[in-house]
Structure formats: structure tokens, C-alpha cells
Chain A
Amino acid sequence: MSLLSRLTPDRKADRQADRVVPPSGHSAWLTSFTAGAMAFLAVFALALSLAAGRLADRWSDALERTATVRLSAPEDQMDLQTKAVLAVLSTTPGIASSRAMTDAEQRALLEPWFGPDLPVDALPLPRLIEVTESGAGYDGEGLRQRLAAEAPGAVLDDHTRWRRPLAVAAGRLRLLGLLSIGLIGTATAAMITLAASAALAANAQVVRVLRQVGARDAYIARAFVRRFTLRAISGAAVGTLVGMIGVALLPSTDTAGGFLTGLGFQGLGWLYPLTLPPLVAVVAFAATRAAAFRKLRELT
């Protein structure tokens, strides 16, 4: 039987089954609150996970596999050394391609710092040569030595490599986020199990009377399970909503700068947190049902 049909097999019978169990104030509140708080936390863990994932992807994608050779040389030797560097690069295993940047490209790179009127020609700017690695990567130390021999003014700047640990860290952060979601789910199940067991124990007399008049365990359990599941899903809905509002209100990516690159949801990513309330409902359903049947066997 599917979860939904179990929850709503026969509304009239359910309402009656609901009524045979007295309304329980304490555990009701506890369940809604727990589900809400956990869903709220899960929204942030999810946002963290997704953002960390994006960061990891971006850092390892975009900056991966490129390096720069910076060549400083007296003006008259510049072209010669550029050629020498390109020659070295083209014979280095692990380098897919290399290309000297044009003046226009260099000006574009510098523009944000010095403005559009920079007289590139008049300045003793180093020449930048863009290097793209091939799959296996190159031997950085060997390349440095060869460059030193062939073109003394050339410096290999594999600036992207320092980002690699960051990309790894971002990947770990994503895992931690997912782990947190798992823990939150487990904690939710545990709390709801406790609340449901407590509710059943508090209603020991009700259970005894119901068993005496011929109620099956499934009937008694259903009243509790339905109640707790509905409470959990409504609590989780509120918690999720508040969490999503909280994420939406975080300072926007542009103003906070690239480093916090959007702790939030993007586009269809906003759909992910919407799966939390149903997920909590499933967890609550399974936890309460297991607790109910176990407790019923204990009680009678």
C-alpha cells in the first residue's frame, strides 16, 4: 500500500480513529516544533551543499588547466624571448597549447585596475603567455628550469594551482552539508519516535480499552501515525518556508563579492528545499509506525 493511501484510505474511518485517541498537547507541540526546526536547519544545510558544490565546480572547471608565463625582457629582446618561450612550451609534454596575449587582451585585463586610458605601449609591461594543460598535466619544476635556460626573463605562474586545495575544500564542504542533512533526518526520526512512544505510553489506558473492545494494532497505530505525520509535515512546511525566506534574504552575490558566491539557491535549485516537508513526512510516518507497533506490543 502506498504512503498516501495509507494516510488517507478512508477519511471517515480515519476521523473516527483519530477521535478515539485524546488530543495530546505536549507531544503534539514537540513534534511540530522539532519537524519545523529540523526542516529550517536542513534548508541551510542544503543551501550550503549546493553553494559549495557550485563553488567546487567553478573553481575546478574554469581555472583548471590554465597557467600563465610572464615574460619581462628589454624591449628589443621581447619578441625573441617570446618566440623562445613558445618554442619551449610547444615541446613540453603535457601542454596542449600556448599563446601570447595580444596588447588588446592585456589592456582589457588591466583596465579594471588602471582605467581605459592606460598607455600599454609606453609601459614596460611583461608579456603574458597563456598556457593550457592537457589531461595529464606538465612537470612544473622541469618547465621552470628549461624556461630559465632559454628565456631568463620568463616566469611560470601556475596561479591556478593554489586554488586546487580550495576546490577540494569546497567539495568537502558539500559532503559535510549532505552529511548534515542525513544527521538532521536521523535526529528528526529519533525525536519523533520518542514523542510518539511517549504519547502512546501516556495513553496506556486508551490503548488497553481499545484492545479490550477488539481494536487491531493497525487501527490504534493509525490514529497516532496520522496525527504525528500531519503534525510533522505542517511543522516542516513552516520551517522550510522560514528557512527559504532566510536564504532569500541573504545579501546578494554581487554585493557580497565572489568569495561567498551565493549561499543560496539558484533557478530550479529553489525546488530542492520543497522536497523537505514530504521527506520529513515520510520519516515521521515510518518512525511513528515502527514506534507504535513496538509500544503496542509492550503495553498489552
Chain B
Amino acid sequence: MIAFDNVAYSYGGGELLSEISLRLAPGSFHFLTGPSGAGKSTFLKLCYGELLPSAGRITLFDREVRSLSRDDIALTRRRIGMVQQDCQFLDHLPLAANVALPLTVAGKASVPQDLSDLLGWVGLGQLADALPPSLSGGERQRAALARAIIIGPDVVLADEPTGNLDWEMSLRLLTLLVELNRMGKTVLIATHDLNLIRQAKSQIAARVLRISKRRIQLAGADL
């Protein structure tokens, strides 16, 4: 689904990530941890074509990223739901329209019932008409997750999706992601929150990747 083959990445200075080789198999559930500044966000951006590797090959849905045109990238992103660490929205459109945006740009109609169900699930049912600048950090994160999954992507990438959330809401989002994974979606979550990882592992077979010393390794059973 997403495969890295001896990938390296640098923003221009020294290499931030080196010799990364891994595969996110369809239907797998991964966490990605590592110290702040280790390159978690960078890795996720490589996973959805926002950044191109400095060396090595990244394959998205069996196609090498470098061979993808801008239009191909756009179409690929319709199969990958991404929750960025700094969730950005169209500030002039109400929350509901923002959440439905992936459908809008794909030329698909959104089913109002599905949209309000989804907003209700992430606890934003009351805020459908609110403008993004008026939302709290946690509300923005939940809205970003709703936006990432509304189009039914094959892969969900989430960068610190629970960073601003209380434990109860974190669990709620985790349950949503676990549900999606049970439906066959591939899930990758970057997080510092070890409690969240433990909680997930009690529910499903989640694997934990850790970035250390520029490499990505599978973390041991202690997590």
C-alpha cells in the first residue's frame, strides 16, 4: 500500500531520516513515536506525497511517487486521509463545509445524514455552522480527523491527532480509528501518548514504529 525502499530525507542540511525501508500493509495499524523533532511529521508527509524523498523509492499504491504527476498526486490523496499536526481549514467556510471538502473537490455530493453522523461522532454536532477560526485546538483536531475520513480513504494518516484532547475524547477518536481499521483501512498514527498506544494494543494488533538516530525501528514488546 505504502512502501519505503531505502529512503532518505533531508530538508537541506544533514539527513533527517536515513535508510528507511518498510511497508504499511493493507489493513495494518501502526503507531509512530519518537522524540520531538525526530521526523515523525516529515515521515507522514513523505507518505502522502507532500515531500519527495532525497534518496530511495517511495511507492504509493504501487506507483513510484516521483512518477506521479500533480494530478496523480491529487487523486492519490483522495485515497489517503491526512490529519496534519497544524490542522488548517478554509477559514471562510463553516465547519460542515470544511469537513465535506474532500467530497466537494472530488465532485461528489455529500450525504447530509452521513455528514451530521460523522460530526456527531467526533463531538462537533453543535458546531456544524461555526467558522474554523472560532474553534479550539481540540475541536480543530477532531474536525481534521472527520475531514480526513469522510471520503472513505484506504489509508488514514494522523499526526498527533489527540495532542490537544482530554483522555475521554482521545479514547473516542481512538475507537473511531480502530473501527475504521476493522473495516479494512490502513491506519498510521504519530503520537507521543504512550497511554493511547497501550490502550490501542489492548483492542487490536497495533505495531509501534520508533524513530531513533534517523532510523525507523519496530519497537519492542514493552509497548
Contacts and interface: CB of A to CB of B under 8 A. Distances in A.
Interface in A11-54: 13, 16, 19-20, 22-23
B187 interface: no
Given A20-B93, A22-B90, A206-B90, A215 B105 contact: yes
A59 interface: no
Contacts of B88: 205, 208-209, 212
Nearest to B103: A213
A219 B105 contact: yes
Interface string B124-155: 00000000000000000000000100010000
Contacts of B197: none
A212 B90 contact: no
B197 to A, nearest CB: 26
Interface string A183-218: 000000000000000000000011011111111111
Contacts of B50: 212
B104 A20 contact: yes
Interface in A209-241: 209-219
B201 to A, nearest CB: 30
Given A16-B104, A20-B105, A219-B105, A213 B147 contact: yes
Given A210-B105, A213-B77, A214-B102, A22 B91 contact: yes
B92 A22 contact: yes
A209 B71 contact: no
Contacts, number: 57
B84 interface: yes
A209 B101 contact: yes
Nearest to A212: B82
A16 B90 CA distance: 13
Given A13-B107, A20-B105, A211 B74 contact: yes
A224 to B, nearest CB: 14
Contacts of B89: 209
A13 B73 CA distance: 21
Contacts of A214: 74-75, 77-78, 102, 105-106, 151
Contacts of B93: 19-20
B70 A213 contact: no
Contact of A215 (B74, B82, B92): B74
Contacts of A19: 93, 97
Interface in B76-116: 77-78, 82, 84, 88-93, 97, 101-102, 104-107
Contacts of B105: 20, 210, 213-216, 219
A209 B90 contact: yes
Nearest to A209: B88
B147 to A, nearest CB: 7
A8 to B, nearest CB: 16
Given A22-B90, A209-B101, A217 B107 contact: no
A20 B97 CA distance: 9
Contacts of A217: 70-71, 74
Contacts of B107: 13
B104 A216 contact: no
B104 to A, nearest CB: 5
Contacts of B90: 20, 22, 206, 209-210
Contact of A216 (B74, B92, B151): B74
A299 to B, nearest CB: 11
A23 B102 CA distance: 20
Contacts of B106: 214
Contact of B101 (A23, A213, A216): A213
Interface of B: 50, 70-71, 74-75, 77-78, 82, 84, 88-93, 97, 101-102, 104-107, 147, 151
Ranked nearest first, the 8 interchain pairs of A and B with the lowest CB-CB distance are A215-B105, A214-B78, A22-B92, A214-B77, A213-B102, A216-B74, A213-B101, A214-B74
